[in-house]
Amino acid sequence: LADAVEALARKAPAGSEGTVNFIKQALSAAQAAYEQVNTATRQFVQVAEANVQGAAKAASGSAKKR
């Protein structure tokens, strides 16, 4: 997609630099947002897995005591 924007920039008429820069900034912001969501999702999954493992250990420990 970045290559397509670069090709557009090369072929764009004079005076459209502002529009091309806007598109580049929008793509950069979208990529940063994607990375943040991806990182947050990975962290959520790690916490959820740790909680499930902790609950499983607690349940098995409780069952053994009976």
> How many helices and strands (H and E) does the chain possess?
2, 0
Query: pLDDT at residue 62 above 80?
Result: no
pTM: 0.67
At residue 13, what are phi and psi to the nearest 5 degrees?
-70, 160
**Per-residue pLDDT band at 6 (split at 50, 70, 90):** confident
CB 5 within 8 A of CB 20: yes
CB 19 within 8 A of CB 12: yes
CA distance 28 to 38: 15
pLDDT per residue as tens digits for the range 8-48: 888 889 899 999 999 999 999 999 999 999 999 999 999 99
**Per-residue pLDDT band at 66 (split at 50, 70, 90):** low
What average pLDDT score do residues 46-52 get?
Answer: 96
